[in-house]
Amino acid sequence: MSSPEDAVQPVVHIERTDDPAVMRWVCTEPSLADVVQGRRQVPAGSTLASLDVTVADGSVWVRVDEAAAWPELAPMVHGLVVDALRTRADWLFVVSAESASQLREPAVASVQQVVDRAAGAITGAHGGGITVRSVADGTVTVELSGACHGCRLSQDTLRRVVAPAVRSAFPGLDVAAE
């Protein structure tokens, strides 16, 4: 069985670029398509704060002063980029104005995909289901069906599995059962 953390792990890989001082972290999940492209001001205290970090083309680009430093820095930078993606760090996820409204109130189908990834196997194995009915005013309303309806563990599944997955994909949203 997968844990809630497995459902929200970033999908990212490192690529070399034509410039040996620059490495590129290609991010497919979560997508960086709706964030403002450009240089980032990384919070002081982070190793990344001393590097030149840019978001462009759905990727995080990192430049070092000396290309020879990459063998030592790459694993550490990789961990910091993955952590920033996983936690949806504010400095990285500067949302473009046109997509901000979509991020506040995502489509029901988009939230349903997150719920299915997080809890579909669990609920399906027990003969139940969780259906997203609405997304409004910062709340995702779900309906529990089959064996999930009335199950004494359903609220625990919503609290420990579904809600963290939804919040990770769509920060600021809460989950409530009908």
Domain boundaries, the chain: 4-101, 105-177
The amino acid present at 88, given as its one-letter code, is: R
Distances (CA, A) of 107 to 42, 63, 111, 114, 135: 31, 36, 7, 11, 7
Q: What is the pLDDT of residue 97?
A: 53
DSSP three-state, residue 111 = helix
Residue 60 pairs with which residues in a beta bridge? Answer: 25, 55
Homologous superfamily of 4-101 = Scaffold protein Nfu/NifU, N-terminal domain (3.30.1370.70)
Distances (CA, A) of 7 to 22, 74, 77, 87: 30, 25, 23, 13
| pTM for the structure as a whole | 0.51
Q: What is the pLDDT of residue 38?
A: 82
Q: Which CATH architecture has domain 105-177?
A: 2-Layer Sandwich (3.30)
Segments in the chain below pLDDT 70: 1-8, 95-105
Residue 63 pairs with which residues in a beta bridge? Answer: 22, 52
Q: What is the pLDDT of residue 107?
A: 83
Torsion of CA 86, 89, 92, 97, to 10 degrees: 110
Closest CA to 14 of 3, 24, 4: 24
CA distance 156 to 151: 10
Tokens of 1: 């069985």
Average pLDDT over the chain, rounded to whole? 85
